[in-house]
Amino acid sequence: MKQGIKAEDLYRLQFVSDPQISPDGERVAYVAKRINQDKNYESHLYICGLNSGASVQWTNGCHKDFSPRWSPDGKTLAFVSDRSGKNQVWLISSEGGEAVQLTGSTQGAGSPVWSPDGKSLLVTVAVEEEKEEEKALKPLEVTHLKYKADGKGLLNEVYSQLLHINLETKEEVQLTDGAYHHFDAAWSPDGQKIAYCKSRGQGDTISFASDLIVRTMNGKEARINQETGSFTDPVWSADGEHLAFLGQTFEFGSATLGNVYTAEVGSGKVLCLTREFDDHAGDAMVGDMHFGHPSPKPFWSKDGKGIFFIASTEGNASLHYVTMEGEVSQITQQKCHLYGYSMDVESDYAVFAASSPTVPGDLFYASLSNLSEEVRLTDMNEELLSSVSLSQPEEFTFINDEGFTVQNWLLKPPHYTEGCKYPMVLEIHGGPHAMYGNTFFHELQLLAASGYVVLYSNPRGSYGYGQQFVKACMEDYGGGDYRDLMAAVDHVVTHCDFVDPDQLVVTGGSYGGFMTNWIVGHTSRFKAAVTQRSISNWLSFYGVSDIGYYFTKWEIGNHVWEDPEKLWQHSPLRLSSKVETPLLILHGEEDFRCPIEQGEQLFIALKQQGKSVKFVRFPKSDHNLSRNGDPGLRVNRLQYIVSWFDDHLGQAEQGGRLNENIAADRV
């Protein structure tokens, strides 16, 4: 009998991303990421022949190679690698051979973009505004609201600038400057203009606001967007007269749906093509294998009359198409997470990077006119998956008290036996404006393999169900969203006789951690809980989080000085005296999104009252520990979760053992 997946199987999983079709349409370059024998992340470039379906590993070594980009003649791949210490741009022949380092920026370089004639490259380089004369320890003077960022720590005066490199003369010219980040560069078809995105600066209250800029090669700049928002991923039309790009305007704060835009470059006229499309243009899927993959840009159709893009709808990330008149149609129909793609619109085909609950991530090839006959190009996890038993989710929905349809999934243990009863774990996603769905999730499969039925749900506030649904939890954290989650649990224990209603546990991270804290402050129906990278106190979160100063206003409705009582009313810390559920608090020491003081406050309050609580602090770990943290600590984290639930459900049984069928599942 095959075993269920284990925490340590994280070391065996591989993940495929960033497909790039060659100019002749015969090959696709892609990136495969894995954890090596030293338990460090590494990634390498592969090239697959689309006719043969055979892949060849193109780069090697204990380092990270990524962002492959074909030269226009298909003879060279530019890519980014950390093999020399910092990320730099390298070149390698598409016929094989040694890679050659192109950039040597002190702070690193990335994002290579070929000129249409193949004679030069645009890259981004990190540039210090003022170089330090010496490396002596000195104070950090803070004058901006955004002076720190999760995953980066305290920010110094270093900004990403665009650098033009002539490949024949090796001449380098820095095209941009100033205290702004410049990114997502795209060259016009005639090579006379570039489009790129420019941040609004660290002093801006909305830290991820960005503008779309068009610049001529003689230095003349024009801003395309008129509204304030976050605008990214510009792509030129074949005639060079229009730009397609993605963006959102913060109309509903962080709950605003993403949209597809076009701009007429000559006149500056901007149209939002998906204004009537009531779903999110972008990938909102939650998972623990896909973090950090590049966001796929939109693609123009062959006739220039429409644009392909990824959208998140009802638990799936799928390929969509929008006409210049704003008519949207869904192109791919599979229940899956399509997280990357590359198109040859001239030849009418595409290569997709996709995941499903039982496929961590692979490449698929299909004609755009016959997507039902897709061909699988890679099977990177064949060895692992042939030796383990995975669970296939079962979907169900219900209508909540506001008339919204709420989508949910159940994972049964892989060795589920009819007639037996199982404990159930409620998993709550972060965001809250994100989406569970049809993607591979190691943690969920592990819990199922450990003998648990796993319930995961998209309560109000989640992406995938329209603008009204995604903003429905704003200023109501712990209200309707809490009722949706409890209704999902009630539905399962009422309709599924294989779930033991006396053996329920709960966990979640970030917003899911907030909600876990909120749940144990309102009910004792769960026998154990694990809160991860959570929020416990909105009053302190406002000033200590890297996003607290605007996220709190958007989500709870007030700045800290406007109505502190409202922030306190939504703070789980206020409810600590009511907590009866044994609580495990997991937090990263270097989490700047939900800083560790949030976990500290909750632990001290519960411990001081004699509650059952344990606090685990993960060193050198930020908010994304579960997705891209130290591999060993990721495994530790999963082991803590399963052990906490096992121990406390064993106590709840009074006999110290779980049902025999659960033990059998763990063989």
Look-up: residue for tokens 């063989």?
A: 667
DSSP 282-328: S--B--SS-TTPPPPPPEE-TTSSEEEEEEEETTEEEEEEEETT--E
Nearest to 411 by CA among 439, 457, 458, 453: 453
Indicate the angle between helix axes 442-449 and 631-652, nearest 10 degrees: 40
Catalytic residue among 43, 510, 545, 576: 510
Look-up: residue for tokens 């804290």?
A: 517
* Token pair belonging to 654: 């009074």
Active-site residue flag, 462: no
Three-class SS state of 573: helix
Q: What is the 3-state secondary structure (H, E, C) of 215-278?
A: EECCCCEEECCCCCCEEEEEEECCCCCEEEEEEECCCCHHHCCCEEEEEECCCCEEEECCCCCC
Looking from the CA of 97 toward its CB, the CA atoms found within 13 Å total 11
Catalytic residue among 242, 290, 415, 623: 623
Active-site residue flag, 320: no
CB atoms within 10 A of CB 497: 9
Contacts 24+ apart (CB under 8 A), 374-379: 375/53, 377/28, 377/48, 377/50, 377/53, 377/55, 377/351, 378/16, 378/30, 378/48, 378/55
Using CB atoms within 10 Å of the CB of residue 147, give its burial: 0 to 12 exposed, 13 to 18 middle, 19+ buried: middle
**E strand intervals along 589-655:** 613-618
**Omega of the bond leading into 432 within 30 degrees of 0 (cis):** yes
Just list the catalytic residues. 510, 623
